[in-house]
Amino acid sequence: MLKQNPFNRLFFKLLLGFWLCSSLIIALVSLLPLLQQNHDRSKLPPSLEKVLQHVAERIQQQPQLLESENLQRLQRGRNHKGGPIRLYLTDDQGKVLNNKRVSREFRRFLLMAEEADQPISHQFRDELIFGPYSFEVNSKTYQLFGRLPDNHPRPWFLFFADNKLLTAGLAILLSGFLCGLLAWYLGKPLRSLKQSANALARGDLANRVDEATASRRDEMGQLAVAFNAMADAVETMVNNQQRLMGDISHELRTPLTRLQLSLALARKKGQHSTELDRIEYEALQQEALISELLTLSRVRLNATEKRLTAELTETLSQVLDDAEFEAEQQGKQLHINIDDSICFEHFPKTLSRAIENLLRNAIRYAEKHVYIESQQTKHQVSILVKDDGPGLPEEELEAIFTPFYRPDSSRDRESGGWGLGLAITQAAIQAHRGHIAAQNQQPHGLIVTISIPNQLSH
Asked whether residue 10 carries a pLDDT value surpassing 90, the answer given is no
C-alpha to C-alpha distance for 40 and 32, rounded to whole angstroms: 12
Is pLDDT larger for residue 247 or for residue 332? 332
Mean pLDDT of the chain: 78
> Would residue 91 be called left, alpha or beta, if left means φ above 0 and alpha means ψ between -120 and 50 degrees?
beta
Q: Which member of 54, 80, 122, 250 is catalytic? A: 250
C-alpha to C-alpha distance for 70 and 410, rounded to whole angstroms: 119
pLDDT of res. 451: 92
Closest CA to 223 of 449, 413, 72, 9: 9
pLDDT of res. 323: 92
pLDDT confidence band for 289 (50 / 70 / 90): confident
pLDDT of res. 84: 77
Tell me if 407 sits within 8 A of 428, measured CB to CB.
no
- Highest averaged pLDDT of the listed ranges 24-33, 267-276, 398-407: 267-276
pLDDT of res. 1: 41
Distances (CA, A) of 100 to 70, 90, 103, 424, 457: 14, 12, 10, 102, 87
C-alpha to C-alpha distance for 249 and 246, rounded to whole angstroms: 5
Q: What residue ranges define each of the domains in the chain, with the CATH number in brackets?
A: 44-158 (3.30.450.210), 219-301 (1.10.287.130), 308-453 (3.30.565.10)
Average pLDDT estimate for 68-85: 72
Sheet holding 127-137, edge to edge: 41-43, 120-123, 127-137, 140-149, 84-90, 76-78
What is the separation of C-alpha 216 from the centre of its chain, rounded to a whole number of angstroms?
Answer: 18
pLDDT of res. 371: 94
pLDDT of res. 81: 62
C-alpha to C-alpha distance for 209 and 224, rounded to whole angstroms: 6
Asked whether residue 9 carries a pLDDT value surpassing 80, the answer given is no
Tell me if 344 sits within 8 A of 381, measured CB to CB.
yes
Closest CA to 149 of 86, 58, 219: 86
Per-residue three-class SS string for 327-357: HHHCCCEEEEEECCCCEEEECHHHHHHHHHH
C-alpha to C-alpha distance for 6 and 12, rounded to whole angstroms: 8
pLDDT of res. 115: 81
Is pLDDT larger for residue 380 or for residue 427? 380
pLDDT of res. 414: 45
Average pLDDT estimate for 357-379: 91
pLDDT of res. 326: 92
Q: Are β-strands 333-338 and 369-376 bridged in parallel, bridged antiparallel, or unpaired?
A: parallel
- Collect all residues with Cβ–Cβ distance below 8 Å to 430 and sequence separation of at least 6: 202, 203, 204, 300
pLDDT confidence band for 79 (50 / 70 / 90): low
pLDDT of res. 457: 42
pLDDT of res. 247: 65
pLDDT of res. 328: 92
pLDDT digits (tens, 9 = 90+) for 47-74: 888 888 888 888 888 888 888 777 777 7
Is pLDDT larger for residue 303 or for residue 182? 182
pLDDT digits (tens, 9 = 90+) for 122-168: 877 778 888 899 999 888 899 999 888 865 555 545 555 556 666 66
Asked whether residue 413 carries a pLDDT value surpassing 60, the answer given is no
C-alpha to C-alpha distance for 350 and 308, rounded to whole angstroms: 11
Whether 250 is catalytic: yes
Distances (CA, A) of 414 to 304, 365, 406, 447: 32, 10, 11, 21
High-pLDDT (> 90) share of the chain, %: 16
Q: Poorest-confidence range of 112-126, 371-385, 437-451? A: 112-126
Q: Are β-strands 84-90 and 308-311 bridged in parallel, bridged antiparallel, or unpaired?
A: unpaired
